């Protein structure tokens, strides 16, 4: 049995060991805490590095996506041409093949005359029509082509070749007006002088007509008109540039009644095409408008492309609900002040569909374009058989397919919305739904047109003029051009020779609307 001292020593030893162990445990605990703090810092650092990495990766992904979108955007813009936008072929970038839209289907035949077709040649004039004869006899130095002998005799036979050409003959006319004396009152007077003979000596109506035709049809600048007339006449006719410029004013002034009568006839039509294009007037953007149909061409010019200038034209506002107006989605036509029926151009619609499909790579709208193209082709075939509309089965199929495609296109737009082109596609789908009846009236009535091409062709001439002349001096000079162009184009559409019509205009006796459209009653 241990003694008390031994027990006490053991207790002290155990207590010392316990204290030592406790101290070591505290040290271990502090070490563990330090390790935990270090581990936490490592974890925090790792999380921070991970977040930073993910942020930098997201930023790079965003940059890559942006650059990809920009690249696709630029590629899409580069792909824009006459098939999917209104870009004229003249603005095709250098190095890119020009695309000329053409709805004609290739027959696979070679160009030129086809086998079995009669060859068309210039017919020789009759003896009564011959104005001059040139005899070609052998000269003293000529000889037989076979033996070079010069002993030959004329057989009395001839071989004739004909040449039809133009000879410019300047005619200088003196007009004599006799002076009389009244035997009753002694008053002296003369025969009346025509109003067109203003000056002592002036150029005649044919010369004036040629100058107007060169300016307003050929789009030749004034100095080139002078050069051409001078060269053609050997310098005998060389009008000054000021004189040529004043011809526009005189001709336009003489057409006031014609333009009013033409406008009155235009507003009685059951179908009117209209469009407008930008022109430059004294360094500012103006507009030239066309209203008309296959026989009427009515042009106006304005400084502003707005509702006020439309009201000044006094055409659209006078049309009734019985009139259909074809245009290229001019939203101003839907103004509540107008009562006519609107028709939308399907060629512009097809171009927008092609553009959207090329830009977004969504092919649903291409299916709609094909549906419209096929319907127009089928309609053309039925018109040839004197049909007036599609049957109910065809129209039901067309409408059903149209709605299905629009639903699919709308879904594709939502699911794969393009940053640059998605809104255009969305608006296009919405526009087709909203203006469905205006776009597809031709499906139910074959007398209605499918496109506004007539207006497009009527305004194409002004683009050539702008390339040459650059701009009009003022709104007045643009108006002169519009009036003269209305007269020329209306006469041409009714098979009246342009120079003859302009000659009458320069004589002060232009064709009237009644003469053009109702010749039997004049």
Q: What is the DSSP string of 127-186?
A: GGG----------TT---TTT--------S----------------------EEE-TTT-
Nearest 5°: phi and psi at 91? -100, 15
Residue 272 contacts residue 295 (beta carbons within 8 Å) = no
CA angle 294, 296, 299 (to 5 degrees): 120
Kindly tell me the burial class for residue 475, based on how many C-beta atoms sit within 10 Å of its own C-beta (0-12, 13-18, 19 or more). Answer: middle
User: What tokens appear for 417 in the block?
Assistant: 């919305």
Q: What local confidence, expressed as pLDDT, does residue 56 receive?
A: 87
Longest pairwise C-alpha distance within the chain: 189
Residues in the chain: 522
d(CA 44, CA 47): 5
Kindly tell me the burial class for residue 507, based on how many C-beta atoms sit within 10 Å of its own C-beta (0-12, 13-18, 19 or more). Answer: middle
Q: Among 378, 413, 405, 409, which Cα is nearest to 394's?
A: 378
The DSSP annotation for 345-388 comes to -HHHHHHHHHHHHHHH---HHHHHHHHHHHHHHHHHHHHHTT--
User: What tokens appear for 76 in the block?
Assistant: 């899409």
Q: Among 379, 399, 517, 398, which Cα is nearest to 447's?
A: 379
Which residues have a Cβ under 8 Å from the Cβ of 141 and sit 6 or more positions away?
Answer: none
Q: What local confidence, expressed as pLDDT, does residue 2 receive?
A: 55
Q: What local confidence, expressed as pLDDT, does residue 482 receive?
A: 96
Sign for the CA dihedral angle at 38, 42, 48, 49 comes to positive
Residue showing tokens 């009009």: 472
pTM, two decimals, is 0.78
d(CA 220, CA 237): 17
Which residues have a Cβ under 8 Å from the Cβ of 455 and sit 6 or more positions away?
Answer: 273, 274, 275, 290, 292, 326, 327, 328
Q: Among 100, 69, 95, 96, which Cα is nearest to 83's?
A: 100
Neighbours of 299 (CB within 10 A): 27
Q: What local confidence, expressed as pLDDT, does residue 426 receive?
A: 95
Residue 248 contacts residue 484 (beta carbons within 8 Å) = yes
Q: What local confidence, expressed as pLDDT, does residue 25 receive?
A: 86
Kindly tell me the burial class for residue 436, based on how many C-beta atoms sit within 10 Å of its own C-beta (0-12, 13-18, 19 or more). Answer: middle
Q: What local confidence, expressed as pLDDT, does residue 367 receive?
A: 95
Burial 37-55 (b: 16+ CB within 10 A, else e): eeeeeeeeeeeeeeeeeee
Helix (H, G, I), strand (E, B) or coil at 39: helix
Q: What local confidence, expressed as pLDDT, does residue 105 receive?
A: 54
Q: What local confidence, expressed as pLDDT, does residue 290 receive?
A: 97
Q: What local confidence, expressed as pLDDT, does residue 208 receive?
A: 95
In 416-472, which residue ranges form alpha helices assigned H by DSSP? 422-434, 436-439, 453-469
N- to C-terminal Cα distance for the chain?
160
Segment (H or E) for 215? helix 205-216
Beta-bridged to residue 324, according to DSSP, are: 271, 341
Residue 315 contacts residue 263 (beta carbons within 8 Å) = yes
Q: What is the pLDDT tens value at each position of the chain, 522 positions in all?
A: 556 777 777 777 878 888 888 888 888 888 888 888 888 888 888 888 888 888 888 888 888 877 776 776 666 666 666 665 555 565 566 566 666 555 555 666 777 667 777 777 888 899 899 989 998 888 878 888 888 888 888 888 888 988 988 888 899 999 989 999 899 998 998 888 888 887 889 999 999 999 999 999 999 999 999 999 999 999 999 999 999 999 999 999 999 999 999 999 999 999 999 999 999 999 899 999 999 999 999 999 999 999 999 999 999 999 999 999 999 998 999 999 999 999 999 999 999 999 999 889 899 999 999 999 999 999 999 999 998 899 999 999 999 999 999 999 999 999 999 888 899 999 999 999 999 999 999 999 999 999 999 999 999 989 888 888 778 999 999 999 999 999 999 999 999 999 999 999 999 999 999 999 998 776
User: What tokens appear for 169 in the block?
Assistant: 């003959």
Residue 267 contacts residue 489 (beta carbons within 8 Å) = no
Q: Among 264, 276, 259, 261, which Cα is nearest to 319's?
A: 264
d(CA 213, CA 365): 45
Residue 445 contacts residue 388 (beta carbons within 8 Å) = yes
d(CA 25, CA 227): 115
Q: What local confidence, expressed as pLDDT, does residue 100 receive?
A: 59
d(CA 354, CA 397): 22
d(CA 49, CA 174): 103
User: What tokens appear for 243 in the block?
Assistant: 């004189």
User: What tokens appear for 295 in the block?
Assistant: 């026989």
Residue showing tokens 């109506």: 205
Q: What local confidence, expressed as pLDDT, does residue 83 receive?
A: 60
Helix (H, G, I), strand (E, B) or coil at 75: helix
Kindly tell me the burial class for residue 408, based on how many C-beta atoms sit within 10 Å of its own C-beta (0-12, 13-18, 19 or more). Answer: middle
């Amino acid at each position: 049995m241990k003694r008390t001292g031994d027990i006490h020593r053991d207790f002290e030893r155990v207590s010392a060991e316990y204290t030592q162990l406790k101290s070591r445990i505290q040290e271990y605990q502090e070490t563990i805490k330090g390790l935990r703090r270090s581990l936490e810092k490592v974890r925090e650092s790792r999380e921070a590095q991970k977040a930073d990495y993910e942020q930098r990766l997201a930023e790079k992904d965003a940059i890559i996506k942006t650059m990809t979108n920009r690249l696709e955007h630029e590629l899409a813009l580069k792909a824009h041409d006459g098939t999917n936008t209104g870009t004229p072929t003249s603005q095709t970038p250098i190095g890119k093949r020009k695309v000329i839209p053409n709805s004609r289907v290739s027959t696979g035949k070679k160009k030129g005359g086809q086998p079995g077709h009669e060859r068309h040649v210039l017919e020789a004039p009759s003896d009564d029509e011959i104005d001059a004869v040139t005899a070609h006899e052998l000269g003293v130095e000529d000889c037989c082509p076979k033996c070079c002998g010069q002993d030959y005799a004329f057989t009395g036979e001839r071989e004739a070749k004909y040449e039809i050409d133009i000879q410019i003959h300047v005619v200088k006319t003196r007009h004599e007006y006799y002076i009389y004396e009244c035997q009753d009152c002694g008053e002296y007077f003369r025969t009346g002088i025509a109003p067109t003979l203003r000056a002592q000596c002036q150029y005649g109506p044919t010369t004036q007509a040629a100058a107007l035709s060169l300016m307003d049809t050929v789009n030749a600048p004034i100095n080139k008109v002078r050069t051409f007339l001078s060269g053609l006449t050997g310098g005998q006719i060389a009008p000054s540039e000021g004189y040529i410029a004043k011809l526009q004013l005189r001709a336009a002034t003489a057409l006031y009644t014609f333009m009013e009568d033409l406008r009155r006839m235009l507003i009685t039509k059951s179908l009117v095409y209209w469009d407008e294009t930008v022109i430059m007037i004294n360094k500012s953007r103006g507009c030239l408008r066309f209203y008309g149909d296959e026989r009427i061409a009515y042009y106006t010019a304005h400084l502003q492309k707005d509702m006020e200038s439309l009201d000044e034209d006094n055409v659209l506002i006078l049309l009734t609900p019985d009139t259909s107006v074809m245009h290229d989605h001019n939203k101003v036509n839907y103004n509540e002040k107008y009562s006519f029926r609107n028709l939308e151009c399907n060629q512009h619609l097809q171009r927008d569909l092609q553009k959207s499909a090329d830009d977004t790579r969504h092919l649903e709208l291409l299916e709609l374009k094909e549906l419209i193209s096929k319907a127009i082709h089928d309609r053309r075939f039925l018109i040839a058989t004197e049909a007036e509309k599609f049957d109910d089965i065809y129209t039901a199929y067309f409408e059903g397919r149209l709605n299905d495609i629009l639903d699919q296109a709308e879904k594709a737009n939502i699911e794969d919305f393009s940053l640059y082109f998605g809104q255009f596609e969305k608006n296009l789908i919405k526009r087709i739904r909203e203006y469905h009846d205006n776009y597809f009236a031709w499906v139910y009535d074959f007398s209605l047109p499918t496109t506004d091409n007539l207006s497009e062709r009527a305004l194409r001439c002004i683009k050539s003029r702008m390339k040459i002349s650059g701009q009009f001096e003022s709104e007045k000079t643009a108006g002169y051009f519009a009036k003269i162009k209305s007269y020329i184009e209306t006469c041409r559409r009714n098979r009246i020779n342009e120079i003859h019509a302009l000659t009458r205009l320069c004589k002060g006796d232009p064709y009237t609307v009644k003469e053009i459209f109702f010749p039997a009653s004049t």
